[in-house]
A and B are shown apart, each in its own frame.
Chain A
Amino acid sequence: MEKTKRKLFSSRRSKRIIFYVCMLAIPLLQFSVFWIYGNLSSFLLAFQNYETNYSGLGYNITFAGLDNFKYAADILFSNIGGEMIKNSLILYFCNLIIVTFLALAFSYYIAKKRFCSGLFRVLLYLPHIVSALVLAVLYRYLVADVYMSVVESISGVKPLGGLFDSPDTQYGTVLFYNIWYGFGLNVVLYTNAMTSVNASLIEAAEIDGANLIEEFIYIYFPNIYSTFMVFIVTGFAGIFTNQMNLLGFFGDTGKNYFDVFGFYLYQEARSAPLSDPLGNTLSTLSALGLLITAIVAPISLGTRKLMQKYGPSVD
């Protein structure tokens, strides 16, 4: 009897294991090739130097040591690199302070099903249905053609250019757009998290005489804290990956008076060669990517740990 039971059990377990392995084989193979090998290649590329063959066909690959990292550090810690980091940091803190605060307030308003909340929810989500490129183009012409026309009709003098045409106003105009655009998705995700809060908790708070703000601080926020934490932590990576929609605003030929790392890395990856005596190659970009990851990863993980340790508890 015992032997039969053991046989049956091992047969069942074997079937489960075989099925498990078969179903995961292809996704894991893809992951191994494109993520593990891809990032390993990125890692190796950072230590390689490609030199064009004497014949002009193909490359000689040599070990570059830390040369590519030196070029990458020159970019990262240069004046231009510093400006790019500063531009991204301004956006990050604007998102952290303005967008997060307002998104939480908007979400709470919608979650409490106040006046016109259904309509607001739909309209807030609408910008995220449409391509960021479309919105960027619409915004670009609003702050150019419409702006110039409105200023001319008010002052009688047509300005020389729109808000994108001047180095003094370009960054602020792009920043405003990114803040405006950032609300929608945040609000929808926070709202979804808030609507999943246990109704009995809210009723108990109401019975205890809590007002709306106290309900938010003591009931809603602790319950959506995990969602909040995801936004804060993943936002760090955005400092070096967020392109601020610059490609949509300026394309390949437009004049942007400022840059951010996300846009810089994307544009360079499209055009950088494998071999260049000046060092501005794909290998340098890989090294730059690794340097940035090495800086951001511990900050992301550390922030997550701190937020988990000191954040509010559902209990």
Chain B
Amino acid sequence: MKEKSKKFKFSIVELVMWLVFAVLALYSLSVLFIFIWGLVTSFKSTIDFTIMGNVLGFPNWQLSQAEIQGNNYRLVSLSFEFKINASSYESIFGTISRPKIYTNVGSLTVNTMFYAFIGSFMDVATSLVVAYMVAKYKFKFSNFLYALVLVLLIIPIVGNYPAQIKLMKDLGLFNTHLGIIITAITFTGTYFLILAGFFEGIPDSYSEAAEIDGASQFSIFIRIYVPLSAKIFATIMLLTFINRWNNYQTALMYFPSLPTLAYAVFQVSNQTFNPNPELKGAWDTPQKIAACMTLALPLIILFIFLNKRIMGDISLGGLKE
């Protein structure tokens, strides 16, 4: 009887696991479908997609003589050439003006790399430094800092956009490259906790031995702990880079004259007509999706090669390498 009951329990558990497998498989198929559909659609012409109604099939390469398949990406690169009006604001240093600018793929990419790469480096480097100080210098202030970050993560500060915008303008940092760098020097995030946990896991004997040998505090940090943290630094920086590459709202809010690729994709994906007034021709679903793919494809390629590092064993509670 007990054996039967055990077998029955076992089969229910297996059934549950297979049900989970089924739901997971369905979800995974939906993820694959949306990306493949997007990629395929980005190569269709407007005639093919909208007029002929070929919404789910492969591109009809013979359909149109006038529109060449794959032209969407060329159109997108041209559509990224839009105008941003001149602007100015008052700061404590006087009037700060931004002239009218015309964007192009090059300038968008430069802005994106600046925002994503420099910004993520400053962000993660700052978190690393503060996490090291908190973990290895056991002063009361270190405990206070750690608790502060925890509290800030839990207590939401809602609706401080207006004050942040005003502060950025007062300091003359709104809409500037310097503003991007300075706003990135922050340590109040989840990755600080992860890095602090990492440094706490490294024995103090390393630094003690170095001190006996006469190394300065700065040397110990740079020559011992920074190399040890290289792997986790790279992983977190990669994650932060991806986040910043995709972020269009911050650029829209604080740096409107320094548009990034994500910002440009946002602008063009909501247009009814071709954003570049000098271009004639359709601006429809396939073109908008092609614009989205220009933002997504570099990261998908990055993910294919670096997925193990990107998904690395970083957890909120600690670290496992």
Determine the chain A residues whose CB is within 8 A of the CB of B182 once the complex forms.
30
Number of residues in A with C-beta < 8 Å to the partner?
102
Q: Are B161 and A266 in contact (CB under 8 A)?
A: yes
Determine the chain A residues whose CB is within 8 A of the CB of B217 once the complex forms.
15-16, 19
Instruction: Given A131-B246, A285-B162, answer yes or no on A293-B156 (Cβ-Cβ < 8 Å).
Output: yes
Which of B56, B167, B320 has the largest number of chain A CB atoms within 10 A? B167
Q: Are A105 and B20 in contact (CB under 8 A)?
A: yes
Q: Are B159 and A125 in contact (CB under 8 A)?
A: no
Determine the chain A residues whose CB is within 8 A of the CB of B160 once the complex forms.
38-39, 42, 286, 289
Q: Which of B23-31, B78-86, B96-104, B226-234 contacts A (4 or more CB under 8 A)?
A: B23-31
Q: How far is the CB of B149 from chain A (nearest CB, A)?
A: 10
Determine the chain A residues whose CB is within 8 A of the CB of B186 once the complex forms.
27, 30-31, 34
Q: Are B295 and A134 in contact (CB under 8 A)?
A: yes
Q: How far is the CB of B91 from chain A (nearest CB, A)?
A: 13
Residue of B nearest to A283 (CB): B162
- Scan A183-219; emit 1 where CB is below 8 A from any B CB, else 0: 1000011001101100000000000000111000000
Determine the chain A residues whose CB is within 8 A of the CB of B37 once the complex forms.
138, 142, 146
Q: Is A137 an interface residue (CB 8 A)?
A: yes
Determine the chain A residues whose CB is within 8 A of the CB of B313 once the complex forms.
192, 195-196
Residue of A nearest to B53 (CB): A149
Q: Are B55 and A149 in contact (CB under 8 A)?
A: yes
Determine the distance from Cα of A240 to Cα of B159 in the docked complex, in whole angstroms: 9
Q: Are A126 and B158 in contact (CB under 8 A)?
A: no
Determine the distance from Cα of A33 to Cα of B139 in the docked complex, in whole angstroms: 23
**Cross-interface CB contact of B167 among A24, A34, A149, A150, cutoff 8 Å:** A34
Q: Are B187 and A133 in contact (CB under 8 A)?
A: no
Residue of A nearest to B311 (CB): A125
Residues 149-184 of B at the A interface (beta carbon under 8 Å): 152-167, 171, 182-183
Determine the distance from Cα of A119 to Cα of B9 in the docked complex, in whole angstroms: 28
Q: Is B199 an interface residue (CB 8 A)?
A: no
Q: Are B137 and A145 in contact (CB under 8 A)?
A: no
Residues 116-133 of B at the A interface (beta carbon under 8 Å): 126, 129-130, 132-133
Q: Are A180 and B30 in contact (CB under 8 A)?
A: yes
Determine the chain A residues whose CB is within 8 A of the CB of B50 once the complex forms.
145
**Cross-interface CB contact of B216 among A15, A102, A109, cutoff 8 Å:** A15
Q: Which of B60-68, B69-77, B264-272, B274-282 contacts A (4 or more CB under 8 A)?
A: B264-272
Q: How far is the CB of A236 from chain B (nearest CB, A)?
A: 7
Residues 18-52 of B at the A interface (beta carbon under 8 Å): 20-21, 23-25, 27-28, 30-32, 34-35, 37-38, 41, 49-50
Q: Are B27 and A133 in contact (CB under 8 A)?
A: no
Q: Is A253 an interface residue (CB 8 A)?
A: yes
Instruction: Given A125-B310, A131-B262, A133-B246, answer yes or no on A24-B20 (Cβ-Cβ < 8 Å).
Output: no
Q: Are B266 and A146 in contact (CB under 8 A)?
A: no
Determine the chain B residues whose CB is within 8 A of the CB of A39 once the complex forms.
157, 160, 163
Q: Are B158 and A45 in contact (CB under 8 A)?
A: no
Q: How far is the CB of B30 from chain A (nearest CB, A)?
A: 7
Q: How far is the CB of B213 from chain A (nearest CB, A)?
A: 14
Q: How far is the CB of A51 from chain B (nearest CB, A)?
A: 16
Instruction: Given A131-B262, A133-B292, A251-B269, answer yes or no on A42-B163 (Cβ-Cβ < 8 Å).
Output: yes
Q: Are A20 and B162 in contact (CB under 8 A)?
A: no
Determine the distance from Cα of A275 to Cα of B263 in the docked complex, in whole angstroms: 28
Determine the distance from Cα of A19 to Cα of B137 in the docked complex, in whole angstroms: 10
Q: Is A163 an interface residue (CB 8 A)?
A: no
Q: Is B252 an interface residue (CB 8 A)?
A: yes
Q: How far is the CB of A300 from chain B (nearest CB, A)?
A: 5
Instruction: Given A109-B21, A120-B24, A142-B34, answer yes or no on A131-B265 (Cβ-Cβ < 8 Å).
Output: yes
Given contacts A131-B292, A180-B27, A285-B162, 6 further A-B contacts (CB under 8 A): A30-B185, A35-B188, A109-B24, A120-B28, A124-B31, A134-B38
Residues on B close to A: CB < 8 A? 9-10, 13, 16-17, 20-21, 23-25, 27-28, 30-32, 34-35, 37-38, 41, 49-50, 53, 55-56, 126, 129-130, 132-133, 137, 139, 152-167, 171, 182-183, 185-188, 211, 216-218, 221, 242, 245-249, 252-253, 262, 265-266, 269-270, 285, 288-289, 292-293, 295-296, 299-300, 302-303, 307, 310-311, 313-318, 320
Can you list 28 A-B contacts with CB-CB less than 8 angstroms, sorted by A residue number? A24-B129, A27-B187, A30-B186, A42-B157, A42-B162, A42-B163, A45-B163, A106-B20, A116-B21, A119-B28, A124-B28, A130-B295, A131-B292, A133-B246, A133-B262, A134-B296, A141-B285, A145-B49, A180-B30, A195-B313, A196-B313, A196-B317, A196-B320, A234-B153, A236-B156, A266-B161, A292-B159, A293-B157
